[in-house]
Amino acid sequence: MSKIIKTPEEAKQNQSYKAALVELLYQFADDDFIISFRGSEWLGLAPHIEEDVAFSSITQNTMGHATMFFQMLEELGEGDADHLAHGRSPGERRSSVYLEKMNGSGSYIEDANYDWALAVVRNFLYETLKRVKLEAATRSSYEPLIFIARKILMEQTYHLAHWRLWIQQLQASTEEAKAKISARLEEAWQEFGDAIELGPKADDIHRFDLLIDEETLKKRWLEKVNEVLAEKYESLPKKKLGNGRIGEFNADLEQAIDIFTAVYRTDVEAAW
Amino acid sequence: MVQLMPDEEVLEVLKTVDDPELTNVSVYDLGMVYSVVLNGGHVSVTMVPTFAGCPALDFIERDVKKAIEHLPWVDSCEVKFSFEYQWTTDLITDRGKVQLRKLGISPPPDHYRVGEEWTVDCPYCSSSYTSMENVFGPTACRSILYCLDCRNPFEAMKPVIVEEETA
């Protein structure tokens, strides 16, 4: 076990340690941020009123988790947290391309032709991954990350339970529901691949005991999702949409940034 | 009148600062105050946030600072939130529980452990014949329930606890 690094100042003393840490934190922050944005677009459109309350509560809380990661990056000298969330270009973001994908056609204001099966599958796969990563982060060599991971795990329990329930219910539901979930899972197995990776600094992230190695992460994630899936997957997802961990993105991310920065851009100095 | 020590005086003030989303429930009774450190006329308060995504944190920080700086001997007050200490629903005081019930919000069960069945009594009639309508409620820390005895909808604080280490 590596030495425990207690403060951002201490982390900054070793350039390669800091670089690996920052890379990992961007992945945590950007994933939480973009999935919250896609979740926020469902507000008022979820299948029923109780789900609207639940999904928006989860989304707001997840956005709070993204904020915590952006603040950790700010403390490491990456710049203002608001800027990190709103001011970075698509190529600077490290979120998984699959998480950036639009909810469906149309916009949340007009002709929102969103697909609930995509929302359920995407959130279930992501929250399962987030749990595996956070559990590993409670043994990180960076102490502030340990504290944040413990905090988030206490809350995220409810998020994961929610999406597990949806998957279980729909898999045991009508033929139509089963077919829709199954098709979205097939699609995810073509596209979710970058989410379960740790990017170009994966070796350093492991070497410095910031998190577990990528192979262990993938293995644990697959075991956890298979506990719930009606049809078990033996192989790991591919990266058909690209690899967000190396800065790849597509038009869906640009669409998201354009919308979520619309207010921010009107006055970047404003305090909210 | 008993003369309070300065740190006791600060705690008394903190018992009067409400959570912006829970009228008459103070941040002290919610268990959000971790420590108070005095240095002459300067007061440092360390607080633990309930839920990370809680949008009320900035308001709480402002309200606490303002209330403490109102004490005549205080020159300045600094409020900071720390994630180093874990907030759990076990930190809510007995008075906090009473005040929550007055708002129609059932306090969390005592000494809850993950995976245990969780029953909630109605804050109005104390019946345990209740049903969970939605784990997620109007704020991140609350759930929505219904009392099948007195036929009132009500809310409950979600149990939030530190999970025991899994191997």
pLDDT in tens, A227-240: 999 999 999 999 99
Give the H/E segment covering residue A255.
Answer: helix A251-260
Nearest Cα residue in chain A from B86 = A151
Under the banding of pLDDT at 50, 70 and 90, the label for residue A153 is: very high
Cα of A192 to nearest chain B Cα, Å = 26
Nearest to A131 by CA among A158, A103, A160, A106: A160
Under the banding of pLDDT at 50, 70 and 90, the label for residue B167 is: very low
Give A160's contacts in chain B (Cβ within 8 Å).
none
Give the pLDDT confidence score for residue B166 in this predicted structure.
44
Nearest to A72 by CA among A159, A137, A126, A127: A137
Contact A103, A38 (CB under 8 A): yes
pLDDT in tens, B104-118: 999 887 777 766 777
Cα Rg, chain B, nearest whole Å: 18
Give the pLDDT confidence score for residue B57 in this predicted structure.
87
Task: Indicate if the pLDDT at residue B94 is higher than 50.
Answer: yes
User: Looking only at Cα atoms, what is the longest distance across chain A?
Assistant: 58
Nearest Cα residue in chain A from B59 = A272
The residues on A that touch B, with CB distances below 8 Å, are 50, 53-54, 57-58, 60-65, 67-68, 135, 144, 147-148, 150-155, 157-158, 161-162
Give residue A91's region: left, alpha or beta (phi > 0; psi -120 to 50): alpha
Nearest Cα residue in chain A from B115 = A157
Q: CA-to-CA distance for B4 and B49, rounded, in angstroms?
A: 28
Structure tokens, A184: 């979205």
* Residue B166 contacts A, CB cutoff 8 Å: yes
Cβ–Cβ gap A61/B52 under 8 Å: yes
Q: CA-to-CA distance for A44 and A110, rounded, in angstroms?
A: 12
Q: Residues 35 to 64 of B: which have CB under 8 A from any A CB?
A: 51-55
Percent of chain A at pLDDT > 70 equals: 99
pLDDT in tens, A175-190: 999 999 999 999 999 9
pLDDT in tens, B13-64: 999 999 998 999 999 999 999 999 999 999 999 999 888 777 788 899 999 9
Q: How many CB pairs under 8 A join A and B?
A: 67
Nearest Cα residue in chain A from B88 = A154
Tokens 């590993």 identify what position?
Answer: A136
Give the pLDDT confidence score for residue B36 in this predicted structure.
95
Contact A197, A101 (CB under 8 A): no
Task: Indicate if the pLDDT at residue A123 is higher than 60.
Answer: yes
Percent of chain B at pLDDT > 70 equals: 94
Give the pLDDT confidence score for residue A248 in this predicted structure.
97
Give the pLDDT confidence score for residue B139 in this predicted structure.
83
Is residue B15 exposed (0-12), middle (13-18) or buried (19+ Cβ within 10 Å)?
A: middle
Which sign does the torsion angle of CA B159, B160, B162, B166 carry?
positive
Cα of A241 to nearest chain B Cα, Å = 30
Contacts of B59-64 spanning 24+ positions with Cβ under 8 A: B59/B20, B60/B17, B60/B19, B60/B20, B60/B27, B60/B32, B63/B17, B63/B18, B63/B20, B64/B14, B64/B17, B64/B27
Give B144's contacts in chain A (Cβ within 8 Å).
53
Give B108's contacts in chain A (Cβ within 8 Å).
none
Contact B141, B87 (CB under 8 A): no
Q: CA-to-CA distance for B70 and B16, rounded, in angstroms?
A: 12
Q: CA-to-CA distance for B34 and B50, rounded, in angstroms?
A: 12
Which sign does the torsion angle of CA A166, A172, A177, A183 carry?
positive
Q: CA-to-CA distance for B160 and A151, rounded, in angstroms?
A: 10
Cα Rg, chain A, nearest whole Å: 18
Give the pLDDT confidence score for residue A271 in this predicted structure.
72
Tokens 């999702």 identify what position?
Answer: A225
Contact A197, A190 (CB under 8 A): no
